[in-house]
Amino acid sequence: MKQHAQWETSLFELIRRTSVDLPPDVEQGLRRALAAEKRGSRGRWVLETILENVQKARENDAPLCQDTGSLVFHFHVPAGFDTNALSAVARVAVARATRLGYLRQNTIDSVSGEAYETNVAHGAPQFYFEQCARSTVDVRLIMKGGGSENVGRQYSLPDGRLQAGRDLDGVRRCVLDAIAEARGNGCAPGILGVCIGGDRASGYEHSKAQFLRRLDDKSEVKVLARLEDRILRDSRLLEIGPMGLGGSATLMGVKIGALSRLPASFFVTVSYMCWALRRRGALISVNGGLKRWLY
Ligand code: SF4
């Protein structure tokens, strides 16, 4: 990859924008949640404060939340594209964004407890590459905060405690349990990414990939689209509300995907994303020039 500098500029701008400016669909989701809360309620106050902070972050070119999270890049590249060079330049862009304060020093050596200065370390940032028949690079970035990561859950069906069998009603029971268990943690109103099936590792991967979907996106599988709507409706009845302080705006969205599974296993994996769903994407030419934003 010859145009190293151009690539670094584009990927740095992707990181900066993801850190300081919430995608329009998520900001609209927060406004819808605000409209649903009663005047004078604590939930309404929380959402007003969040929306003020979103505005200030954009104006001040500063991170939306002090936890700038784990960085997860998803690349779709033309066949034969040099993905080693692409991940190397992305690491350089991450280090620069950290030096300039768009990312907190947020990466810890799990054995020594020491912080890495640049957020570049084994497993950080994370990369997913897919080669396909295309002439440009599609890159999407998600920054996932630790508080919401901590409340993700995985279930193995059947589950006697939840009376959840190996069917879609069993899935619904698991997801509602995950919402109830998260309660005030994870910075509600959140967005759920759910995977039905897969194994323990692919279940989490696929559930997190659901966060790439826009909030107004519906599953193309009709029964899953209905389940997404049903769980969103049911979540309102739990009265958990923004930051767990009560109210109907517990979730802004539910996104469900499915993978095949083994006969012996039926996993339901629920990943939780906080209100700060920092998700941005761009189409970039093979020489590194930014063509257009995707979110
Ligand atoms: S869970 Fe999200 S909103 Fe809450 S502190 Fe972490 S990144 Fe920030």
Token digits of residue 259: 């993978």
Pocket probe for ligand 1: among 64, 148, 149, 245, the residue whose CB has the most ligand atoms within 8 Å is: 148
Angle subtended by helix axes 42-60 and 4-20, to nearest 10: 150
For 157-266, list the strands marked E by DSSP: 190-196, 251-258
Cβ of residue 277 lying under 6 Å from some atom of ligand 1: no
Which pLDDT tens digit goes with each residue over 239-275? 999 999 999 999 999 999 999 999 999 999 999 999 9
For residue 144, the CA-to-ligand 1 centroid distance in Å is 8
pLDDT of residue 1: 63
Question: 3-class SS at 113?
Answer: coil
Atom 7 of ligand 1, residue of closest alpha carbon: 145
CATH number of 4-20+64-145+278-293, picked from 3.30.310, 3.30.1330, 3.40.50, 3.30.70: 3.30.1330
- Separation CA 76–CA 237 (nearest Å): 39
Average pLDDT, the chain: 96
The whole-number average pLDDT for the span 109-121 is 97
Asked if residue 145 has its Cβ within 6 Å of ligand 1, the reply is yes
Position 2 confidence tier, pLDDT thresholds 50, 70, 90? low
Q: Mind listing the pLDDT tens digit for each residue in 137-174?
A: 999 999 999 999 999 999 999 999 999 999 999 999 99
> What are the boundaries of each domain within the chain?
4-20+64-145+278-293, 147-273
Give every CB contact of residue 61 below 8 A, 6+ residues apart in sequence: 16, 20
User: Residue 99's pLDDT is what?
Assistant: 98
Q: Report pLDDT for 57.
A: 98
With a cut of 90, say whether residue 184 has pLDDT above it.
no
Going by pLDDT thresholds of 50, 70 and 90, the confidence category of residue 283 is very high
Q: Above pLDDT 90, what percent of the chain?
A: 97
Per-residue tokens: 192: 């759920």
Per-residue pLDDT at 115: 95
Query: What are the φ/ψ torsions at residue 192 (nearest 5 degrees)?
Result: -100, 135
Check whether 183 has a pLDDT greater than 90. Answer: no
Is the confidence at residue 94, as pLDDT, over 80?
Answer: yes
CA distance 198 to 259: 5
Mean pLDDT, rounded, for 198-222: 97
Average pLDDT over residues 86-107: 97
- Coil, helix or strand at residue 273: strand
Q: What is the pLDDT of residue 125?
A: 98
